[in-house]
Amino acid sequence: MKETVVSGIRSTGKLHLGNYYGALSNFVKMQDAYNCFFFIADLHSLTTHPTPGDLSRTVREVVVEYLAAGINPETSTIYVQSDVPEVAELYLYLNMNAYLGELERATAFKDKVRANPDNVNAGLLTYPVLMASDILLHHGTKVPVGKDQEQHLEMTRTFGNRFNRLYNVDYFQEAMAFSYSDKLVKIPGLDGNGKMGKSNGDASCVYLSDTPEVIRKKVMRAVSDAGPTEMNQPKPEAIQNLFDLMKVVSTADTLAHFEDLYNNCAIRYGDFKKQLAEDMVLATEPVRSRINDITNDDEYLKKVVRLGAEKASESARKTIREVREIIGIKKLF
């Protein structure tokens, strides 16, 4: 039997190169080896109170972009979280055994409280319980997530084990963080520091749906400096970032060519950026054209989303039936 992989995708809209070369490429590689459930976490996003229009638009964008980037809806189960309301029922049961103290101690919760002191709602507090429900609903044992989610996975194991102990069963398995390749590719932003990320602003991100013109404009405006003045001098962060991006989208020859120019103080950043932009346009072309193909294809998207909901519901209904039985919830008559 194939092991089950579960991963939630934040429904914050458009995907950028960081998502593509990070989580997404992992997902695509896992599809054949594992029984994969990928879902758009629209219920989780309610903690920040999106408008109805924004909510449905971003869910659609994310579905389109994951499909365009290579998630196969036949082999994997790709679904919208709210299409499978069983997760809310499991969330309710698990909430009965999730304690205030441990929820308050979660780092992600504390960070959000600090960032938005006016919106400390109970959904935010119990976010890890909903996440545990996502995973346990399908008996997921492998969860491809980044470092920032490891504490949530530990809480998932705590809630599952606690349920097992309380009812004296061996029902939920432990879910572990999982990365297909141990080399995580670093995708820096264009703003001179840190990772490519929405929180660093649109100018730092190249989105999969950006047109070639937009990509060129963003890359040409990327932060650089006045250029090297000494042979073989170490690269400052902003320049290293551009080389790191080139490593991902360009050929080894191109990269070596510009490394040489840099080391000989002969690099012209205009040419360097132009090449980087063209290679980025080329690397993202297949995904972009697929996004354009399916973004207005209601028939196709409807088919995919329905199939996903069907497959996920089947697994979810079985779990809920068993959980109710374990808890002792049964029809009186």
Residues that bind ligand TRP (CB under 6 A): 6-8, 10, 41, 44, 131, 134-135, 143, 145, 149, 152
Pick the closer one to ligand TRP by CB: 10 or 157.
10
Task: List b or e across 266-288, with b for residues whose CB sees 16 or more CB atoms inside 10 angstroms.
Answer: ebebeebbebbbbbbbebbeebb
Taking CA atoms, 249 is separated from 39, 50, 255, 281, in Å, by 28, 34, 10, 9
| Residues contacting residue 56 through CB under 8 Å, at least 6 positions apart | none
Least CB distance to ligand TRP at residue 140 (A):
7
Least CB distance to ligand TRP at residue 100 (A):
20
Q: Are 202 and 208 in contact (CB under 8 A)?
A: no
Q: Which residue is nearest to ligand TRP (CB)?
A: 8
Pick the closer one to ligand TRP by CB: 60 or 112.
112
Least CB distance to ligand TRP at residue 134 (A):
4
Question: Within 10 A of 74 (CB to CB), how many other CB atoms are there?
Answer: 10
Q: Which two tokens stand for residue 9?
A: 């995708």
Pick the closer one to ligand TRP by CB: 153 or 215.
153
Least CB distance to ligand TRP at residue 128 (A):
8
Residue 57's closest CA among 7, 12, 9, 24?
12
The residues annotated with a catalytic role in the active site are: 112, 195, 198
Pick the closer one to ligand TRP by CB: 48 or 295.
48
